[in-house]
Structure 1
Amino acid sequence: MLDFRLHVFHVVAHLLNFTKAAERLSISQPAVTKNIKELESQLGIRLFDRKAGKVVLTEAGQTVLQTADRIQLLYNQLEFDLNVLKNQFGGQLKLGASTTAGQYVLPEILARFHRAFPGVQLTMQNANTETIEQAILQQEIMLGVVEGKKHHPLLSYTAFIQDEIVAITHKDSKYGKLGQISLEELVKIPIVCREKGSGSLEVLEAALGEHDLELSGLQVEMMLGSTEAIKSFLENYDCIGFVSITAVSGPVSRGDFKIIEIPEMEILRSFYFVHAAGVPAGLSASFMHFAKHSYNQRL
């Protein structure tokens, strides 16, 4: 385990709040202050300052935090490797995943993890990105996988995999003969997309914004709560939909749907692991390590 004073510093440095750090560490606020003062005395330099009533890291504090992050990651790796050797994984891991990740990325990884570590009880909540982030903030789940941008200063985001949002249409649609369209043509074509609060919609809006376009300037026929709903809608309505390429690789390869290129606009995004501020430990860290390794093996 990390030196406890360094561990206390690590939590405070990410939260920048002594009261919240005390709650996270399950110790009193005076104990947090005592450990920080002892660490500063040991190192001979101040690690925190207060400015306008807020806690901020000094230059020395930022340097110590960089090293503390690396030490925590090394410890997590060591813990994972030793547990694999001892086959001593156990406990409960409450996960959350945004809709696309929960339906198309994680199920295979969850199956592999369960086979490897049957002593771990896994549960997963599936909702849009905003809901998953709130569930972590409310301590309802321990770890999430979300898409879109980083939103909350009290959460930490670790890159997981890359994804792309593409425009598709059904093979029988009148737009099925199109190979590509321009942005000028896009605004004249009816579209269907994900709902407000979803990471997919957020990255679509950001991509449009880079070309001085807004979603309100497009002919949005409907906003739906899942990729499966969008695919079903496209089977019964002449329009195009914006979805994750991860979610439609199978139907596209079978010829049921067709990707329509928009050369002027590439919509790339990342899936992130999201967790309470700081470097994760225990089962959360172990699952992150396993998931990255497992996904890379598929490639």
Structure 2
Amino acid sequence: MDAQLNVFQTVAELKHFSRAAEKLHMTQPAVSQQIRALEDSLGVRLMERNNKGVSLTNAGELVLHYAKEINGQYRKMREMIDELLHFTGGPLAIGASYTFGEYALPATIARLHLEFPGIRPSIAIGNTADIADRLRARELDLAIVEGSEYGTGVEAERLANDRMYIAAGAGHPLAGGEPVGPERLSEEIWMVREEGSGTRAATDRMFASLGIRPARLMELGSTQLIKETVEAGLGVTLQSRLALRKELGLGSLKLLLVEGIPVKRDFYVLLRKGELRTRTMEVFLQTLQEETERLLID
């Protein structure tokens, strides 16, 4: 790995020389020297110091983009060398959209730790669009998302089918078990995720297919916040059965009886197009498949 690019990327991401030095186990003067040497070799200033830390120049933003790609390629090369030695272990950067990452992935990670303790997973959670972008930027090795809006440069493999239901708080007027039609649902406040989320895309498709025209949408940034707001009695939401398991068991949320529900969608594994898979990735994917099937059957 190019030492100067590695130091530069660390400083740029932490926006602080002393924190970067601590993370890299270097002295701060040594970090500064590496940055100056990189700037001298390129003939341009990459960083500006200020009272709050460090900011990048336009040239610095460009160098950071390529530094991530170069450092990612170097890391992949080392992983492939380990693969040649039949080694199962090392770091594995996993991305996941919110629903899968928060409600399905933990079981896979727990089993992976028991059976393959040499694998060191790190998890990044975000909406589908953000996770796909991070995979393309080589910040992640693979990703699991819901929906099919993930753009170019990646290939998708279907993992499992998900079922989504409309839920309301236990004390909500619609939670009595009677069928509910589109007109009545249109009168409700709908708790939805932000644009770019797979759950939001599924919700919008449901509105169109069932003829629901919500009087008001309340956009919230996490599934947990949506569930707690609905539990408190405000509005309704469409969510994966995976995300609703605990609340349905406790009785704090109830499923509404609506024609055309559940909504079905697929979870996908995303990989960068044309890249080889390490043994570590194959072990993870096998464990992921088995644990996901178990969760969706329960």
Quickly name the TM-score band, shorter chain normalised. Answer: 0.5 to 0.7
Aligned partners of 1:168 and 1:260 also within 8 Å: yes
Structure 1 CA distance, aligned partners of 2:262 and 2:292? 23
Give the superposition deviation at 1:104: 0.3
2:229 is aligned to 233
Structure 2 CA distance, aligned partners of 1:278 and 1:169? 44
1:138 is aligned to 137
TM score, norm. by length of structure 2: 0.66
* One-letter code aligned to 2:290: H
Structure 1 CA distance, aligned partners of 2:149 and 2:195? 16
1:262 and 1:281, CA in 2 relative to 1: closer, same or farther beyond 3 A? same
1:210 is aligned to 209
Aligned partners of 1:174 and 1:238 also within 8 Å: no
Matches for 1:46-195 after TM superposition, within 5 Å: 88-195=87-194
1:272 is aligned to 268
1:59-109 alpha-carbon deviations (Å, 9 max, x no partner): xxxxxxxxxxxxxxxxxxxx8xx96xxxx4122100011011111000011
* One-letter code aligned to 1:223: E
Give the superposition deviation at 1:280: 4.9
| Pairwise CA RMSD | 2.8
Aligned partners of 1:207 and 1:266 also within 8 Å: no
2:255 is aligned to 259
1:291 is aligned to 288
Equivalences, count: 219
* One-letter code aligned to 1:268: K
TM score, norm. by length of structure 1: 0.66
Unaligned residue ranges in structure 2 (runs of 5+): 1-69, 74-82
2:243 is aligned to 247
* One-letter code aligned to 1:287: F
Structure 2 CA distance, aligned partners of 1:109 and 1:157? 19
Give the superposition deviation at 1:230: 0.8
1:152 and 1:241, CA in 2 relative to 1: closer, same or farther beyond 3 A? same
Structure 1 CA distance, aligned partners of 2:234 and 2:101? 28
Structure 1 CA distance, aligned partners of 2:294 and 2:168? 31
Unaligned residue ranges in structure 1 (runs of 5+): 1-22, 27-78
1:207 and 1:174, CA in 2 relative to 1: closer, same or farther beyond 3 A? closer
* One-letter code aligned to 1:292: Q
Worse overlay, 237-246 or 251-260 = 237-246
1:113 and 1:240, CA in 2 relative to 1: closer, same or farther beyond 3 A? same
Aligned partners of 1:175 and 1:239 also within 8 Å: no
**Is 1:219 equivalent to 2:215 in the alignment?**
yes
* One-letter code aligned to 2:287: F
Give the superposition deviation at 1:159: 0.9
Name the SS of the counterpart of 1:210 in structure 2. helix
